[in-house]
Amino acid sequence: MTDMNAVVEKFKSRQALIGIVGLGYVGLPLMLRYNAIGFNVLGIDIDQSKVDKLNAGQSYIEHIPAANISKARETGFEATVDFKRASECDALILCVPTPLNKYREPDMSFVINTTDAIKPYLRAGQVVSLESTTYPGTTEEELLPRVQEGGLVVGENIYLVYSPEREDPGNPNFETRTIPKVIGGHTPNCLEVGIALYEQAIDQVVPVSSTKAAEMTKLLENIHRAVNIGLVNEMKIVADRMGIDIFEVVDAAATKPFGFTPYYPGPGLGGHCIPIDPFYLTWKAREYGLHTRFIELSGEVNQAMPEYVLGKLMDGLNDAGKALKGSRVLVLGIAYKKNVDDMRESPSVEIMELIEAKGGVVAYSDPHVPVFPKMREHHFELSSEPLTAENLASFDAVVLATDHDKFDYALIEAKAKLIVDSRGKYRTPTAHIIKA
What distances in angstroms separate CA 228 from CA 234, 269, 301, 336, one per listed residue?
Answer: 10, 11, 11, 17
CATH, domain 304-435, list 3.30.460.20, 3.90.1720.10, 3.40.50.720, 1.10.357.10:
3.40.50.720
Name which of 45-49, 104-108, 115-119, 145-149 the model is least confident about. Answer: 104-108
Q: How far apart are CA 151 and CA 143, in angstroms?
A: 14
Domain(s) labelled CATH 3.40.50.720 in the chain stretch across 4-208, 304-435
Q: How far apart are CA 216 and CA 60, in angstroms?
A: 31
210: confidence class by pLDDT, cuts 50, 70, 90: very high
Predicted model pTM: 0.92
Cβ(354)–Cβ(325) below 8 Å: no
Residue 139 CA, distance from chain mean position: 21
Q: pLDDT (tens digit, 9 = 90+) per residue, 12-58?
A: 999 999 999 999 999 999 999 999 999 999 999 999 999 999 999 99
Please tell me the predicted confidence (pLDDT) of residue 257.
96
Q: How far apart are CA 289 and CA 50, in angstroms?
A: 42
Catalytic residue numbers read 273
CATH topology of domain 4-208: Rossmann fold (3.40.50)
CA-only gyration radius of the chain, Å: 24
408: confidence class by pLDDT, cuts 50, 70, 90: very high
Q: Residue 223 corresponds to which amino acid?
A: I
Closest CA to 162 of 133, 135, 185: 185
Please tell me the predicted confidence (pLDDT) of residue 379.
83
Q: Higher-confidence residue: 212 or 176?
A: 212
Cβ(399)–Cβ(422) below 8 Å: yes
State yes or no: pLDDT of 397 exceeds 70: yes
Q: For 199-338, list the strands marked E by DSSP.
A: 205-208, 328-332
Could you report how far apart the first and last alpha carbons of the chain are, in Å? 62
1: confidence class by pLDDT, cuts 50, 70, 90: low
* 125-146 average pLDDT score: 97
Helix (H) or strand (E) holding 130: strand 127-130
185: confidence class by pLDDT, cuts 50, 70, 90: very high
Q: pLDDT (tens digit, 9 = 90+) per residue, 71-111?
A: 999 999 999 999 999 999 999 999 999 988 888 889 999 99
Please state which CATH class domain 219-285+288-300 belongs to. Answer: mainly alpha
Q: Across all residues in the chain, what is the average pLDDT?
A: 95
Three-class SS state of 329: strand
State yes or no: pLDDT of 318 exceeds 60: yes
Helices (H), 56-108: 66-74
Domain(s) labelled CATH 1.10.1040.10 in the chain stretch across 219-285+288-300
Q: How far apart are CA 170 and CA 174, in angstroms?
A: 9
What distances in angstroms separate CA 199 from CA 29, 33, 125, one per listed residue?
Answer: 16, 12, 18
Q: pLDDT (tens digit, 9 = 90+) per residue, 262-316?
A: 999 999 988 778 778 899 999 999 999 999 999 999 999 999 999 999 999 999 9
Please tell me the predicted confidence (pLDDT) of residue 218.
96
